[in-house]
Amino acid sequence: KNRPAAALPHRPAAATFWGALSGYASFVAHAGGPPFQIYVLPMKLDPKKYTGASIRFFAIVNAVKIIPYFLLGALGAENLTISATLLPAALVSTMLGAAIVKHLKSEVFYPMTYALALVAGVKLLWDGLPI
């Protein structure tokens, strides 16, 4: 019979590698999601725990990026204006996502998350092509 694979346990060395890669990718290309997912998805956390871990991880990564971004001049008035304009959409989509995750079972959450990760990965690869 087809049985789901067992969940992988926390692996400190892998967590350090994928966490550092995710932080670096987030800093240079806002693409930290795929490395994070490579490490966390196989752990098969409850969807709420997965979402909470993701929120905490990227909140810390984004907070750490503020000073380097400021020093690089990336937090100018134009960027901050765009960010402020997009803030309502970010808040609404966050609340909508939280409401959806609250009602999703793991059997639906994980296939959907893997499919969306594939789409995001293909998009990032496409964006990197010299066309």
- pLDDT tens string 59-103: 999 999 999 999 999 999 999 999 999 999 999 999 999 999 999
Nearest to 40 by CA among 62, 12, 10: 10
Q: What is the pLDDT of residue 4?
A: 61
Query: In which band, very low, low, confident or very high, does the pLDDT at 124 lie, cut at 50, 70 and 90?
Result: confident
- pLDDT at residue 6, rounded to an integer: 79
Which tokens belong to 35? 């490395």
Q: What is the pLDDT of residue 27?
A: 96
Kindly state the DSSP code that residue 4 receives in the 8-state scheme. P
44: region left, alpha or beta (phi > 0 left; psi from -120 to 50 alpha)? left
SS3 content of the chain, % helix, strand, coil (to 5): 80, 0, 20
> Which pLDDT score, from 0 to 100, does residue 21 have?
97
State the pLDDT at residue 120.
86
- Checking if the pLDDT of 1 tops 70, the result is no
Contact 36, 57 (CB under 8 A): yes
